[in-house]
Amino acid sequence: MEPLNIFRSQYFAALAMLEEAIRLCPDTVWNRHDGPCPFWEKAYHALFYTHLYLAEDLDHFTQWEGHIDPDSADLIPKEVVLAYLEFVKVIVNDRLALTELEAPSGFHWLPFNKFELQIYNIRHIQQHTGELFERLDHEKIELNWVGTAKPDNFLERE
């Protein structure tokens, strides 16, 4: 499998785990401040930066049309976060096809190439997903590990 399909597989696996955490999060946990921020904010943050780092660079980043600034929101509903997740899946699929892995990251604070940026971005999703899994574990909610996403689970491309 070529590198872009490997990255696509790992993005979709990481996003599947994040999606499961979001879907199984009880309403009583969704807005509870366990740590520095509520569950919804950490999930939204993971999606926002996944979306951002798939852009060519900061100048080419376009906000999702449903974007809500977490700093000005008391709560972002689960349905909105899940809609953003679906949007991010499309971005993963579309942007990876255009990614030149040897090109610079496109973000001055990330001094490496696009190849390493993909690994960095997937690790970022997984870091926050792990934190959300831990919160749900305290609620006795079991979640699944997704090791890889098969090509037939990728979004259809025209």
Residue 133 located in a structural domain: yes
Give the residue among 43, 146, 47 at the shortest CA–CA distance from 87: 47
Residue 33 located in a structural domain: yes
Q: How many domains does the chain have?
A: 1
Give the residue among 126, 158, 138, 141 at the shortest CA–CA distance from 13: 126
Cα–Cα distance list, 26 to 23, 58, 75, 130, 139 (Å):
8, 35, 14, 17, 9
Distance CA(94)–CA(74), nearest Å, equals: 32
Residue 56 located in a structural domain: yes
Number of Cβ atoms within 10 Å of the Cβ of 80: 17
Residue 70 located in a structural domain: yes
Residue 115 located in a structural domain: yes
Distance CA(144)–CA(146), nearest Å, equals: 6
Print pLDDT tens along the chain (158 aa): 688 999 999 999 999 999 999 999 999 999 998 778 999 999 999 999 999 999 999 999 999 999 999 988 999 999 999 999 999 999 999 999 999 999 999 999 999 999 999 999 999 999 999 999 999 999 999 998 999 886 555 654 43
Residue 158 located in a structural domain: no
pLDDT at 33: 85
Burial class (CB in 10 A: 0-12, 13-18, 19+), 38: buried
CATH for 88 = 1.20.120.450
Backbone φ, ψ for residue 145 (5° rounding)? -90, 135
Residue 74 located in a structural domain: yes
Residue 157 located in a structural domain: no
Answering whether pTM is above 0.85, one says: yes
pLDDT at 158: 35
Which residue range is the domain that position 46 belongs to? 3-145
